[in-house]
A and B are shown apart, each in its own frame.
Chain A
Amino acid sequence: MKGRKMNARRSDPMLPQPFRVARVQRETFDTFTLNLEGLKDNGGFKFAPGQFNMLYVFGVGEVPISISGDPTNGDILVHTTRVVGTVTTAMGKLKQDDIIGVRGPYGTHWPVEDARGKDVVIVAGGIGLAPLRPALYYLLEHRDKYNKVVLLYGTRTKEDILYRRELEQWRARFDLEVHVTVDRGTGNWRGNVGVVTALIPKAPFDPENAIALVCGPEIMMRFTVLELLKRGLPEEKIYLSMERNMKCGIGLCGHCQFGPHFTCKDGPVFPYNRIKDLLEKREI
């Protein structure tokens, strides 16, 4: 499964396509979600879970943002973004009907088809839930093709929980196990408090027939991998989504290099065994 590139017919892959902001949702104090619609009726936007777009804000710049919507719904393009710099700040100020430039989809995707017949463990940290949500949508859409599906989600405090309402709905399902934890419990939070890795030892999956999809801060991913390996999950069945500086998203600017890999085209989703050596080195 590969997302068809919107600008496949374009001769210049650096030219963005304009999309209209249909809706802006505030998620947490520094995170928001843009729902985008294409300007022309061009058959919808197709992408695979885990892929990203380069989003252009007029006159400000471009940033890579993972797609966090439903891959089976091509009418709306969803991006959950955190404000961390100039471009994301400008993006956070966009309002309904504003125009934003889109190039993509780029990158490798979560191996949701290869996971058929297996248990799927999803471990998300912080904003890492955003690029994993499309995978979860896909799994739920084809629920009968998978064994157990487990979502482990950790974030800073209860105020930082993304997609809270959706998480509560998912938790209520009988065919999905959802565990949420926060690093620090405040106010009337009576749920788990502790690192998300602490949820792994008791997570209900069979390491002999499972894959794990992991996304979050690099440190969190490294410790998550350790716990998954301790459970007996093979290295090649653990998938991480890496993040690096990107200026083009198409393998030409060089910035996203992670060892010999271009994060924009050999990633961002990597099987752990492929990047294991790189993760152990400093400043790669």
Chain B
Amino acid sequence: MKTIENILAEHPFFKGLEPKYLKIVVGCASNVVFAPEQIIYREGDPADRFFLIREGKIGLEINVPHKGPVTLQTINEGEILGWSWLMPPYKWRFTSRVYERTRAIALDGACLRKKCDEDHALGYEFYKRFADIIVQRLQATRLQLLDVYGVHS
């Protein structure tokens, strides 16, 4: 039976994090399970958690008038869901809906934010890792924006 600490320590996102910081993170972590079609958070809700996906698939959706929900990206096993907890106004921009039964580690964002304010070294570690994710997502989004498969005018 793996402990949360084991799971986090093995995950690439937390690789290289000093044990004392890992313990702090574990202190803010809990196991969660979501069923298909469940809404983890809605656009506009306060953003106070983020998730390390262990298994499953989640869609990031936005509601487009006259079109209904459009999925902009899916988050899969091993990936991180949610970064709006990092910066004001701490509100979710998109809705996350479970597509395949999901097991995840939920991390208390509000708790971690406080810890990062107190210990900037910890804050730096988090921002470094999230910057990497955000850059990757940005590059992918730009590729999607280019609409390379679209019919050219």
A contact residues vs B (CB 8 Å cutoff): 30, 84, 125-127, 154-156, 160, 181, 183-187, 189-195, 197-198, 202, 216-217, 219-220, 223
A219 and B74: CB pair below 8 A?
A: no
| With A184-B71, A185-B72, A223-B143: A190-B149 Cβ-Cβ less than 8 Å | no
Residues in chain A near residue B150, CB distance under 8 A: 156
B71 and A185: CB pair below 8 A?
A: yes
Query: Interface extent on B, as a size class?
Result: 20 to 34
Contact partner, A193, options B72, B146, B151, Cβ 8 Å: B72
In chain B between 54 and 85, which residues have their CB closer than 8 angstroms to a CB of chain A? 57, 59-61, 67-68, 70-74, 76, 78
Contact partner, A185, options B74, B78, B140, B151, Cβ 8 Å: B74
What's the nearest-Cβ distance from chain A to residue B141, in Å? 8
A-B contact count (CB 8 A): 72
What's the nearest-Cβ distance from chain B to residue A91, in Å? 16
A186 and B70: CB pair below 8 A?
A: yes
Cα of A186 to Cα of B73 in the assembled complex, Å: 11
What's the nearest-Cβ distance from chain B to residue A281, in Å? 19
B148 and A197: CB pair below 8 A?
A: no
Cα of A250 to Cα of B8 in the assembled complex, Å: 59
A191 and B149: CB pair below 8 A?
A: no
Residues in chain A near residue B140, CB distance under 8 A: 194-195, 197-198
A217 and B149: CB pair below 8 A?
A: yes
Contact partner, A219, options B59, B78, B148, Cβ 8 Å: B148
